[in-house]
Structure 1
Amino acid sequence: MRRILGILTATTAIAAVLAPATAPSATAAPGRAAVDVFLADGATPVGSTVLHPGDKLVVKGRGFDPAANTSGFPLPVPPGVPHGTFIAFGAFAPHWKPSAGAPEAARATARSGVQWAMAPSALNRVPTAPFDFRRTIRQQWVPLHANGTFTAKLTLSTPKSIPANARWGVYTYGGAGSDNPAQELRIPVRYSTAPGPNTPAPPRRNLIWAYTPSFYRTVTGAAEGTVAGSDGATVDKAGRMSFELRSGSLRGGTGVLRFHGTVVAYTRFHLYEVALADPVLRVRGGHGVLSMRTSTTNMNGTDRLRRIDIADIDLRGAGADGKRAARVAFRPGISPEVLALLSTGTAAPLDLRLSAG
């Protein structure tokens, strides 16, 4: 664990060095940056429509200088290269502008609600080694054209932590620590955190596991990163991963359980990004082996996955109702390296909840 903390703390130290006129528009002088916000069809102005988690918005920008924002964090965009512009849906504090010294905590977003407009020529100047920073940006990238226009599509979701007196809306501001008051725009949006017609149903929490007692705290603390679930997986406020049962059952302490869902743990700037996906638990006589699909490198997330055996699970005495946790012991040979380092020490117990969602 000391080694992984050393790697992730070093990562943190590096980072510290570092359309139609009828749509509602941010006030901007002719030729200056402005945005128009539309519903998912890209043509209907958002107006006073009440939106919910899972809804989509289309944001069309104009007047954004592709050559601007050349200073900011030295990662992931090198100094002198245009850092682009963030387009974000979120709950921002009244004092939110980076150019006015507002902290990052004033801008609450979820990853699906943020895109990054950057000129292709600038993106091509972002390095791919020793860390693939270009990949980091491509995950959220939309082209910023030479004429200063872009089109971004945002999927709305509720951030985990919301500042006091926050205001929902679509915001734009300089990317990667670049301060540019001319690009700090806000479009108010009416948003309800209540489920709507496009809100995904929450997955059943059939396999619940924190990995290690310190896994979540290490990634979100020392590495200033995030652990997030999707497609059948969630991560709760205590940092426990959960996966939904896809098929299988246990009879007499024997059987195969197949779960689905993807959890991605990544540091700030995605210097390290590791996925854990689609657990399979093979059990015989109360003894199980848990396998998962994991990243093939320390930095490629879900780009490429392969299945490995992660841990031995002792289900003897553990219930299928989540009231008695199963003992877990990591297996040797876990990869990639960052995941192996995070697997040192004691494994967290694992809960199976097969009789209820």
Structure 2
Amino acid sequence: MIPLVVAAGTGLGLVQALPAAAAEANPSIELFAADGVTPLGAAVVHPGDRIVVRGKGFDPAANTGGLPVPVPPGVPHGTFVTFGAFSPQWRPSEGAPTAARGLARADTAWVLSESALQRIPQAPLDLQRTVRKQWIPLAGDGTFTATLEVAKPAKMPADGVYGVYTYGAAEAVNASQELATTVRFDPAPGVNTPKPSAADLVWPVAAGFADTVTGPLSGTLSGSGGAAVRDKALNFEFDSAAVDPSTGKGTIKYRGTAVASTRFHLGEIAIANPWIEFTDSGTWLTAETSTSDTIGADSLRRVRLAQLDAAAQPGRTEWSQVPVTFEPTLSPMSLQPYAAQPGAPISFRY
């Protein structure tokens, strides 16, 4: 079970909603194609397409209630703007549960004034970083422009309606900001849909890893730059290999960055560019990992993650379900509970 428990000391388990901010007058949004000029209207969008959202009438001083992290109580919490598939009864002000709102958290914009952003603490945890990853400036006159990348939500209600939605961020409740504009979405690949990454190295990390991140930690698992998450396993693309054909010893390199994060990125670790190293002392899985539990891919260093039960074999290019044992010393610290323990089997090819 991955700890990623940075959020545990923040009091999330004791949160009670603060009183809702007074609703401002007439917030509204307009949707445009990726050029920011052409009204989106009834145009069909596909995964990877972009929608430009322009809002007005959003009071920069509103939404001062909600979760106490990452935005402190009394500081405007801002507004989430997202593409997703929501139930007809989705509004937080009407008591709709989170499950009624199917969205891709990584592609959700966090609209907030810069003055409010600057009031978010940077120590002992850098909570400003949490918001900046999604931040869209809200001007003093209540206007903003956000660009959303269209993606089909991994989880969505059966009666979900695709569209662009806005609502109070970090559990701030403000009925006047709960807006919905229907969008015609076709999940089939379009001209802007990213090509799937090859599954040349497949590793679920450990039993229950993905379920813990997306379940109790209310977080996400994502991949980029040659990495993807499929069937609860990290997938990486082959990059290059330098292997002695006579001994089978050498290094097979893969590319991509996988990130596991808790809710609001209060805990965030990355595993990037893994290598399989066949050496005289054994076979090792190394990777670039986060230098702290809250830094994600912003700061990485290469470490040994695990030893593999797979000897070098001349001419062999594919391995399946290889047993894994984690190294006694692991970093970042949130991986320490796995130290010296069996991991999930790994499969790789080149």
Partner of 2:188: 194
Residues 282-305 of structure 1 show CA distances to partners (whole Å, capped at 9, x for unaligned) of 214794222111111110101111
Q: Distance in 2 between matches of 1:31 and 1:297?
A: 43
What pairs with 1:284-303 in structure 2 (closer than 5 Å)?
284=279, 287-303=282-298
Partner of 1:309: 304
What pairs with 1:250-261 in structure 2 (closer than 5 Å)?
250=243, 251=245, 252-261=247-256
In structure 2, give the amino acid aligned to 1:122. A
Partner SS for 2:99: helix
Equivalent in 237, 261, 273 of residue 244 of structure 1: 237
Q: Distance in 2 between matches of 1:67 and 1:109?
A: 26
Equivalent in 100, 103, 117 of residue 97 of structure 2: 103
Partner of 2:8: 10
Equivalent in 309, 330, 333 of residue 334 of structure 1: 330
- Offset of 1:278 from its aligned partner? 0.5
Using structure 1 for the length normalisation, give the TM-score. 0.89
Q: Residues 249, 286 of structure 1: CA spacing in aligned structure 2 closer, same or farther, 3 A cutoff?
A: farther
Q: Distance in 1 between matches of 2:312 and 2:277?
A: 17
Equivalent in 200, 203, 206 of residue 197 of structure 2: 203
In structure 2, give the amino acid aligned to 1:127. P
Q: Distance in 2 between matches of 1:6 and 1:190?
A: 37
CA contact (8 A) 1:12 1:222 kept: no
CA contact (8 A) 1:69 1:178 kept: yes
CA contact (8 A) 1:112 1:157 kept: no
Most deviating of 109-118 and 6-15: 6-15
Q: Distance in 1 between matches of 2:126 and 2:330?
A: 23
- Offset of 1:340 from its aligned partner? 2.4
Q: Distance in 2 between matches of 1:46 and 1:263?
A: 33
Q: Distance in 1 between matches of 2:9 and 2:188?
A: 37
Q: Distance in 2 between matches of 1:332 and 1:188?
A: 52
Q: Residues 338, 143 of structure 1: CA spacing in aligned structure 2 closer, same or farther, 3 A cutoff?
A: same
Partner SS for 2:259: strand
**Pairwise CA RMSD of aligned residues?**
2.3
In structure 2, give the amino acid aligned to 1:216. A
Q: Distance in 1 between matches of 2:281 and 2:248?
A: 5
- Offset of 1:235 from its aligned partner? 1.3
CA contact (8 A) 1:267 1:273 kept: yes
CA contact (8 A) 2:278 2:311 kept: no
In structure 2, give the amino acid aligned to 1:339. L
- Offset of 1:210 from its aligned partner? 1.2
Most deviating of 129-138 and 257-266: 129-138
Partner of 2:19: none
1:277 is the counterpart of 2:272 = yes
- Offset of 1:5 from its aligned partner? 4.8
Q: Residues 55, 286 of structure 1: CA spacing in aligned structure 2 closer, same or farther, 3 A cutoff?
A: farther
Most deviating of 7-16 and 103-112: 7-16
Q: Distance in 1 between matches of 2:230 and 2:340?
A: 22
- Alignment: residue pair count: 339
Most deviating of 327-336 and 206-215: 327-336
In structure 2, give the amino acid aligned to 1:37. L
Most deviating of 338-347 and 169-178: 338-347
Equivalent in 335, 342, 345 of residue 346 of structure 1: 342
Q: Distance in 2 between matches of 1:86 and 1:11?
A: 25
Residues 180-222 of structure 1 show CA distances to partners (whole Å, capped at 9, x for unaligned) of 1111111111111110000011011011111111322332233
- Offset of 1:37 from its aligned partner? 0.7
- Offset of 1:159 from its aligned partner? 0.9
CA contact (8 A) 1:55 1:155 kept: yes
What pairs with 1:1-357 in structure 2 (closer than 5 Å)?
5=3, 7=5, 10=8, 14=12, 17=15, 32-237=26-231, 239-248=232-241, 250=243, 251=245, 252-284=247-279, 287-316=282-311, 320-321=317-318, 324-343=320-339, 345-354=341-350
Partner SS for 2:321: coil
CA contact (8 A) 1:253 1:285 kept: no
Partner SS for 2:171: coil
Q: Distance in 2 between matches of 1:116 and 1:225?
A: 16
Partner SS for 1:153: strand
In structure 2, give the amino acid aligned to 1:241. L
Most deviating of 289-298 and 337-346: 337-346
In the alignment, structure 2 segments of 5+ residues that lack a partner are 17-23
- Offset of 1:179 from its aligned partner? 0.9
Using structure 2 for the length normalisation, give the TM-score. 0.90
Q: Distance in 1 between matches of 2:214 and 2:149?
A: 23
CA contact (8 A) 2:52 2:146 kept: yes
In structure 2, give the amino acid aligned to 1:35. I
Partner SS for 2:215: helix
Q: Distance in 2 between matches of 1:316 and 1:141?
A: 48
Partner of 1:26: none
- Offset of 1:8 from its aligned partner? 6.5
In structure 1, give the amino acid aligned to 2:251. V
